[in-house]
Structure 1
Amino acid sequence: MASTSLEERERRGRANLPLELVLVRHAEPDWDWARDTSGDPPLTALGRRQAADVAAHLTTMPLNALYCSPLARARETAAIIGAAQQLDATVVAGLAEIRVPMLSSASQAEVDAYFAAAARRSLREHWDGFPGGEPFREFHARVTAAFESVLAHYNVRPQHADEFAVWHSPARAQTLRVGVVAHGGTNGVLLTHMLGIASVPWEWIRFETPLAAYSVIGLRAINDQGYVWSLQQFGRRADDRESDS
């Protein structure tokens, strides 16, 4: 009998995971600070096309549930994905992007200057969040607490074994696949937290993804003491040509 190839053995290891998360960044929003003072813009026409493209692409990865941020750009993206999956998205308030001050009636040049000045601060000052906005540690705690509440619905929760952070999950005959539509910052925090990486106050740079891109992480058993999250795909777009295997 021919021996099983390494590639086939690795593929089997990735099969039948108890839970898989598909983290999607929203499509292009219609940012116009001088015109829209809500700080919560909808998608542009291009953004709606981007959302439709990723929605069509994700039909090859059927979702069992779909969650999203309460902000319009994420809700609209999630609605388009949900329609393709015949799912309604559940809004989770804690998945909103890190809060920044309202820059109402500011010109684009003034907005750019604000973010440029924020970037010039010392590294430690980045823990404060954007000037006048939500501190990063509060943002991180908000997002992780909100999503752990979501995972608790599926009896998935963090635990510790020896000095390691692992996760509890029931075994499942088929993979449960959950979609999350949120933001660059939110998804960066989730990847950091799930993968057990030390936090930094620029998660959206460390795990930078394009608009309407998705990443996939799955729970894999270490042994009978628990599971860890494994990064399966990162920053994929609907027009990427690489194999999904």
Structure 2
Amino acid sequence: MSTRICLVRHGETAWNAERRLQGHIDIPLNEKGHAQARATAAGLAGERFSAAYCSDLQRARQTADSIVTRCGLAPEFDAQLRERHYGAFQSLTYDEARARFPEAYRHFESRDPAFVFPDGGESLREFAARIHDVLHRIARAHQGGQVLVVTHGGVLDIAHRLATGKPLDAPRDFTIPNAALNWIEWHGDSATDWSLIAWARQDHLTDSLDELPDA
């Protein structure tokens, strides 16, 4: 039996608006982000979910609060659903990171799967393995059901690639807006048993920032 997963990126934060890398730093939603969370809850009012999972960072938790209250669910908070750890890049804007760490930024921008951020960051390959593991675990636990997952932009990047077979190092040609709805489906135990149903649906939103600064 298959499992449908609705992935929601958290609502906007002040650091999103500043194009500042958050990673594991625990930044709350701004006023617009709270409004987006409420709009997403309304947009999902007709859906029925068998379970809800959420990153343990507060921007995701605050987004999930509005949705699960309306859907009557108690979310499970999971640190495996956190954003990628950006190491020394965390708290910097993209421009600041480029200026301060030009060589490291080149690897980051080119999506080098083996590149590890200085000061404790994750490589893209390590991050992808973490997200693959948690999504497979969730999908297997709810076969035949529909699950809500509230998480982060980098996680959605990996989920889209998992569902479409796009390589980690391929340039991103899809958007990841705050609080949009993204649907994928798992069909079995194989790594290729995923498909994309719908992506970046934002009919319920009036305005939303993409995860990357130039999009």
Task: Report the TM-score, using the length of structure 2 for normalisation.
Answer: 0.75
Matched ranges for 1:31-46 at <5 A: 31=15, 39-46=25-32
What SS class does the counterpart of residue 176 from structure 2 fall into?
Answer: coil
Deviates further, 41-50 or 206-215: 206-215
Deviates further, 146-155 or 185-194: 146-155
- C-alpha distance after superposition, 1:26-51 (max 9, x if no partner): 100232799x9x82100001100001
Q: Which residue of 1 aligns with 2:139?
A: 151
Q: Which residue of 2 aligns with 1:4?
A: none
Pair 1:212-2:200 in alignment: no
Percentage identity across aligned positions?
30
Q: Which residue of 2 aligns with 1:159?
A: none
- C-alpha distance after superposition, 1:126-183 (max 9, x if no partner): 531444421111111111112222223235xxxxxxxxxxxxxxxx5xxx21011111
Q: Is the 8 A contact 2:36 2:205 kept in 1?
A: no
Q: Which amino acid aligns with 2:68?
A: G
Q: Which residue of 2 aligns with 1:26?
A: 10
Q: Which amino acid aligns with 1:128?
A: F
Q: Which residue of 1 aligns with 2:212?
A: none
Per-residue deviation at 1:59?
0.9
What SS class does the counterpart of residue 139 from structure 2 fall into?
Answer: helix
Q: Which residue of 1 aligns with 2:115?
A: 128
Q: Which amino acid aligns with 1:146?
A: V
Q: Is the 8 A contact 1:98 1:186 kept in 2?
A: yes
Alignment equivalent of 1:237, drawn from 185, 190, 202: 202
Q: Is the 8 A contact 1:66 1:90 kept in 2?
A: yes
Q: Is the 8 A contact 2:156 2:176 kept in 1?
A: no
**4+ residue runs of structure 1 moved beyond 6 angstroms?**
none
Deviates further, 130-139 or 116-125: 116-125
Pair 1:64-2:31 in alignment: no
Unaligned runs of 5+ in 2: 207-215
Paired with 1:125 and 1:189, the residues of 2 have a C-alpha distance of 14
Q: Which amino acid aligns with 1:236?
A: R
CA RMSD of aligned residues (A): 3.4
Q: Is the 8 A contact 1:79 1:88 kept in 2?
A: no
Unaligned runs of 5+ in 1: 1-16, 156-171
**More strand by proportion, 1 or 2?**
1
Q: Is the 8 A contact 2:186 2:193 kept in 1?
A: yes
Structure with higher Rg: it is 1
What SS class does the counterpart of residue 148 from structure 2 fall into?
Answer: strand
Count of aligned residue pairs for this structure pair = 195
Paired with 1:103 and 1:232, the residues of 2 have a C-alpha distance of 33
Pair 1:54-2:7 in alignment: no
Q: Which amino acid aligns with 1:24?
A: V
Per-residue deviation at 1:208?
2.7
